[in-house]
């Protein structure tokens, strides 16, 4: 028995040796796409609004003691890092505010949802019942936001989400929900423009997964791609073998593949594309923009670009250095969105809006620059001029390449 297995191993080794050596010098005759590599340089600075409202304000704010801001969202759970990025941003804004304004000390309370829609109701109910909380940053994810928006609405508690992008969230008639970034109805067209414009792709192949996020984003993206879209395919969550999809893509010879989904499938997909000789670019949205993508796709990730309605906070020097000093970390995805959202609420408190109703009205009529962008909402709670950024993979890191829409 054992002998047989040893023989087997040897046979495999021999076969492998023959195959790998026999063809090592054949080069890559398997390449079948001919996109010329477009290089968009990484940006190292971004334009920061000159008159951005900062948490410190004028330092003369006076307010009653006991006012509190809340963060409701993931502190633990599988996607905790996103939540941590956000509440660290909020914490930084609060620290700067309280340090500069001895006459107005605002407290901070965190409520953990684990990012899970089924667990979010409890912490949200707890938060709305604490009378000292006048404004909330959160909830970070679309699913939990959808599940709890009504509770916050009933108690008239204003909340600004720094990261939930599902377009449907603003169609519920909620008056207390505000989105601090562009939604996927903005990201899709921006992505299409980026792929056919800056990346100069004439032919784009779009692959979507089976999540609400992936389907919604694919719909807006493919509509905007128009005639550049030469083919589509659909994959499932948890799929690992993409060979048939890839064979269709290789035959269609696209210049770019847009993957609308999350990194768990996007990474093996990109890796298998490259293994099969695909030489075009791979473009994916914020659901794939994560260091995990690089870990999972390996070298193949070098062909990847990302679109994201998030602003690269690491390129805002004052923010970056303050964040690093406070937490000994670089700002993460959505840290700056959390910081700006907290700043808007704090500036309201400084202006004397210290009840839930007053603060809600303050956010509703807000029309000023934040560090990351201009904040002014329409009646549904969508930003009026959201920005979408492009990112790319360079030397195993995700770096911003500027605005794309």
Question: Which residues lie near other proteins (CB under 8 A)?
Answer: 1, 4-5, 7-13, 15-17, 19-24, 26, 28-30, 78, 210, 231-236, 238-245, 247-248, 250-251, 264, 267-268, 271-272, 275-277, 292, 294-299, 301
Task: Residue 248: name the closest of 214, 224, 272 by CA.
Answer: 272
Tell me whether residue 306 or residue 375 sits nearer to other proteins (CB atom): 306
Residue 352 C-beta: closest distance to other proteins, Å: 46
> Looking at beta carbons only, is 1 or 50 nearer to other proteins?
1
Give the nearest distance from C-beta 19 to other proteins in angstroms: 4
For residue 256, the minimal CB distance to other proteins (Å) is 17
Q: Using the minimum distance from each CB to other proteins, give the nearer residue, 145 or 271.
A: 271
Q: Report, in Å, the least distance between residue 93 CB and other proteins.
A: 30
Pick between residue 57 and residue 261 the one whose CB is nearest to other proteins.
261
How buried is residue 94: exposed, middle or buried, by Cβ count under 10 Å (0-12/13-18/19+)?
buried
Convert the chain into a string of H (helix), E (strand) and C (coil): CHHHHHHHHHHHHHHHHHHHHHCCCCCCCCCCCCCCCCCCCCCCCCCCCCCCCCCCCCCCCCCCCCCEEEEEECCCCCCHHHHHHHHHHHHHHHHHHHHHCCCCCCEEEEEECCCCCCCCHHHHHHHHCCCCEEEEECCCCHHHHHHHHHHHHHCCCEEEECCCCCHHHHHCCCCCEEECCCCHHHHHHHHHHHHHCCCCCCCEEEEECCCHHHHHHHHHHHHHHHHHEEEEEECCCCCCCCHHHHHHHHHHCCCEEEEECCHHHHHHHHHHHHHCCCCCEEEECCCCCCHHHHHHHHHHHHHEEEEECCCCHHHCHHHHHHHHHHHCCCCCCCHHHHHHHHHHHHHHHHCCCCCHHHHHHHHHCCCEECCCCEECECCCCCECCCCCEEEEEECCEEEEEEECC
Instruction: Name the residue nearer to other proteins (CB basis): 28 or 328.
Output: 28
Shorter beta-carbon distance to other proteins: residue 35 or 297: 297
Smallest gap from Cβ 230 to other proteins, in A, equals: 9
Beta carbon of residue 85, minimum distance to other proteins (angstroms, whole number):
17
Residue closer to other proteins (CB basis): 23 or 385? 23
**Structure tokens of 320?**
């970056």
Cα 267 to Cα 293: distance, rounded to the nearest angstrom:
5
Min separation Cβ 211 and other proteins, Å: 12
Answer positive or negative: Cα dihedral of 152, 68, 375, 351. Answer: positive
Q: Which two tokens stand for residue 390?
A: 């492009």
> Between 279 and 292, whose beta carbon lies closer to other proteins?
292
**CB of residue 8 to other proteins, shortest distance in Å:** 6
For residue 142, the minimal CB distance to other proteins (Å) is: 19
Q: Cβ closer to other proteins: 117 or 277?
A: 277
Residue 50 or 244 with smaller CB distance to other proteins:
244
Minimum Å distance from CB 275 to other proteins? 5
């Amino acid at each position: 028995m054992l002998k047989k297995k040893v023989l087997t191993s040897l046979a495999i080794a021999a076969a492998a040796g023959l195959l790998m050596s026999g063809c090592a010098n054949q080069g890559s005759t398997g390449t079948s796409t001919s996109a010329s590599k477009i290089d968009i340089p990484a940006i190292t600075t971004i334009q920061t609004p000159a008159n951005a409202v900062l948490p410190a304000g004028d330092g003369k704010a006076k307010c009653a003691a006991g006012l509190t801001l809340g963060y409701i969202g993931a502190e633990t759970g599988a996607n905790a890092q996103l939540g941590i990025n956000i509440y660290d941003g909020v914490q930084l804004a609060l620290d700067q505010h309280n340090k500069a304004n001895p006459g107005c000390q605002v407290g901070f309370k965190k409520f953990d949802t684990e990012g899970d829609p089924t667990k979010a109701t409890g912490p949200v109910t707890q938060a709305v019942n604490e009378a000292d909380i006048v404004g909330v940053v959160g909830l970070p994810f679309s699913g939990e936001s959808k599940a709890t928006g009504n509770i916050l609405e009933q108690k008239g508690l204003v909340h600004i989400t720094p990261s939930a992008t599902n377009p449907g969230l603003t169609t519920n008639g909620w008056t207390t929900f505000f989105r601090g970034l562009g939604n996927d109805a903005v990201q899709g067209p921006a992505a299409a423009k980026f792929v056919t414009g800056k990346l100069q792709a004439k032919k784009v192949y779009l692959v979507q997964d089976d999540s609400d996020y992936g389907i919604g984003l694919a719909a807006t993206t493919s509509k905007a791609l128009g005639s550049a879209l030469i083919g589509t395919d659909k994959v499932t969550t948890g799929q690992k073998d993409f060979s048939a999809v890839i064979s269709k893509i290789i035959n269609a010879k696209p210049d770019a593949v847009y993957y609308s989904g999350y990194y768990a499938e996007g990474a093996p997909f990109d890796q298998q594309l490259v293994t099969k000789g695909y030489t075009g670019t791979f473009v994916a949205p914020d659901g794939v923009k994560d260091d995990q993508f690089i870990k999972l796709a390996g070298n193949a990730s070098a062909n990847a670009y990302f679109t994201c309605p998030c602003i690269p906070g690491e390129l805002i020097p004052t923010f970056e250095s303050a964040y690093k000093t406070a937490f000994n970390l670089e700002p993460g995805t959505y840290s700056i969105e959390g910081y700006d959202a907290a700043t808007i609420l704090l500036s309201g408190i400084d202006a004397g809006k210290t009840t839930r109703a007053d603060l809600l009205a303050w956010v509703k009529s807000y029309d000023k620059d934040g560090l990351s962008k201009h904040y002014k909402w329409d009646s549904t709670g969508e930003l009026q001029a959201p920005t979408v950024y492009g990112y790319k993979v360079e030397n195993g890191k995700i770096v911003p390449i500027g605005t794309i829409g």
